[in-house]
Amino acid sequence: MAALSSNLLFVAFILYLIATLFFGGSIKEKKGLSEKKETNKWGKIAVFLTIVGFVSQLGYFITRWIAAGHAPVSNMFEFTTFFGMALVGAFIVIYFIYRTTLLGLFTMPVAILVIAYASMFPRDITPLIPALQSYWLHIHVTTAAIGEAILAISFAAGLIYLVKAIDQTKSSKRTFWLEAVMFSLVTVLGFVAVSSIFSGMGYHEKFNWVDKHDNEAVVEYTMPAIAGPHEGELLTKDGFKPFVEMPAIVNAKKLNTVIWSLIGGIILYGLIRLIIRKRISAALKPLVKNINLDFVDEISYRSVLIGFPVFTLGALIFAMIWAQMAWSRFWGWDPKEVWALITWLFYAAFMHLRLSKGWHGEKSAWLAVIGFVIIMFNLVAVNLIIAGLHSYAGS
């Protein structure tokens, strides 16, 4: 069952890649996106492949659930693959409302990056710790992920808006920050590339270290240790000695992964810029030259309008109910809880500024992009670097 599950996920990933190519072909033929609800043959093929890929990934989710005996959202691999699936599902729903093939061209690469990112984490099925053995695991985590996925559609629409609206013929703060967003997406590819290289080399080294409870433990690194564990002692002969030792509250191994991801991202971004000889956002601009800005602005806003209450239910209300049942308190200021609250406050401010202050168009698009950056920070940095109750074991 576990092998079938992995195969279904791989099939979904390949179909998403092919669908993205067809989305690109549909845009080239249509020469843009308007408010008209029409899709050419390439777009129809792309949507069909996306739906088949989603069904395949749903099959992965169900078969892994059967094999594990619990909802497969209990570690970084499982949660991130579910987030990617929810993102694709959210796109499919939005597509049938607006018939927007260009949205697929910008959304599917994000979903592909998310799933590729997940594939770099251990895929072993592990038993749940006692605190997670509750049906609230299914309710809280899946609802929160679905809410974040719908909000991610707002990011894709906002990105389309900014690529179209920002003048790329001259450098400015707007071009700098838009390119910073592109760099962050490339960094995910950098993570996949670096992880694959060291995995292919079979690299590993072990350390003795002291955790935040002053207990000695052994940790194995799969990348050279730029950031070493707290009071770490290198056990591997001729292993790479860390440049810096991290405090016990920081997960040094996972911080080390983030550092290598940034290194890989910088190298990959440099190569891309060397090949295209322009900003990535400038290279994308011809794809959006005929879009209707008001149309994508509406999609971005509607996505937040739907995703915000779903996120509120999953990440806050259901989370507090489960926390009360598991730890006899509604709120504990765990890093993950704090960042879930920050995310909620940001999107609450988004809605307020949109409705009360008239922040439409480019301002709204920037807010959608910043909101997704906060979501990804919560997914990557808070889960991987900061030790807390919500740190995913084995990820």
SS (H, E, C) 144-180: HHHHHHHHHHHHHHHHHHHHHHCCCCCCCHHHHHHHH
Is residue 246 a part of any domain in this protein? Answer: yes
Containing domain of residue 254, as a range? Answer: 169-277
Is residue 390 a part of any domain in this protein? Answer: no
Report residue 209 as tokens.
């270290």
Is residue 393 a part of any domain in this protein? Answer: no
Is 191 found in the same domain as 147?
no
Confidence of residue 251 (pLDDT cuts 50, 70, 90): confident
What local confidence, expressed as pLDDT, does residue 53 receive? 96
Is residue 389 a part of any domain in this protein? Answer: no
Judge whether 117 and 80 are in contact, CB under 8 Å: yes
Is 243 found in the same domain as 139?
no
Q: Flag the least confident range among 78-82, 116-120, 346-350.
A: 116-120
Q: What is the DSSP letter of 392?
A: P
Q: What is the DSSP letter of 332?
A: -
Is 93 found in the same domain as 8?
yes
Is 307 found in the same domain as 161?
yes
Distances (CA, A) of 158 to 135, 162, 353, 371: 35, 6, 16, 10
Q: Which one of 262, 277, 292 terminates a domain?
A: 277
| Crossing angle for the helix pair 41-68 and 76-98, to the nearest 10 degrees | 150
Residue 332 has pLDDT above 80, yes or no: no
Is 270 found in the same domain as 320?
no
Of 130, 102, 48, the closest CA to residue 285 belongs to: 102
| Domains identified in the chain, total number | 2
Q: Hey, is 129 helix, strand or coil?
A: coil
What local confidence, expressed as pLDDT, does residue 119 receive? 82
pTM, 2 dp: 0.85
Distances (CA, A) of 282 to 163, 175, 182, 270, 277: 7, 9, 11, 15, 10
Q: End-to-end alpha-carbon separation of the chain, Å?
A: 21
| Crossing angle for the helix pair 101-118 and 2-30, to the nearest 10 degrees | 150
Residue 110 has pLDDT above 70, yes or no: yes
Is 113 found in the same domain as 20?
yes
Span 53-64, mean pLDDT? 95
Q: Hey, is 100 helix, strand or coil?
A: coil
Q: What is the pLDDT of residues 190-237, one digit of tens each?
A: 888 888 888 888 888 888 888 777 788 888 888 898 988 887 888 888
Is residue 285 a part of any domain in this protein? Answer: yes
Compute the 3-state secondary structure of the chain and give helix, strand, coil in percent, each to the nearest 5: 70, 5, 25
Cα radius of gyration rounded to whole Å, the chain: 21
In Å, how far from its chain's centre is CA 42? 27
Is 321 found in the same domain as 209?
no
pLDDT, averaged across the chain: 85
Is 160 found in the same domain as 212?
no
What local confidence, expressed as pLDDT, does residue 363 receive? 93
Is residue 392 a part of any domain in this protein? Answer: no
Is residue 129 a part of any domain in this protein? Answer: yes
Judge whether 100 and 30 are in contact, CB under 8 Å: no
Is residue 339 a part of any domain in this protein? Answer: yes
Q: What is the DSSP letter of 37?
A: -
Is 182 found in the same domain as 155?
no
Q: Which one of 277, 312, 337 terminates a domain?
A: 277
Residue 387 has pLDDT above 60, yes or no: no
Judge whether 390 and 75 are in contact, CB under 8 Å: no
Identify any residues that bridge with 205 across adjacent strands, giving them in sequence order: 221
Q: With pLDDT > 70 as the criterion, what percentage of the chain qualifies?
A: 91
Residue 371 has pLDDT above 80, yes or no: yes
Is 175 found in the same domain as 155?
no
Residue 71 has pLDDT above 90, yes or no: no
- Other C-beta atoms closer than 10 Å to the C-beta of 386 total 19
Q: What is the pLDDT of residues 19-50, one digit of tens each?
A: 999 988 877 655 444 444 556 788 889 999 99
Alpha-carbon distance 359 to 364, whole Å?
6
Q: Which one of 277, 305, 337 terminates a domain?
A: 277
Is 18 found in the same domain as 124?
yes
Alpha-carbon distance 386 to 389, whole Å?
10
- Other C-beta atoms closer than 10 Å to the C-beta of 363 total 13
Residue 340 has pLDDT above 90, yes or no: no
Is 140 found in the same domain as 17?
yes
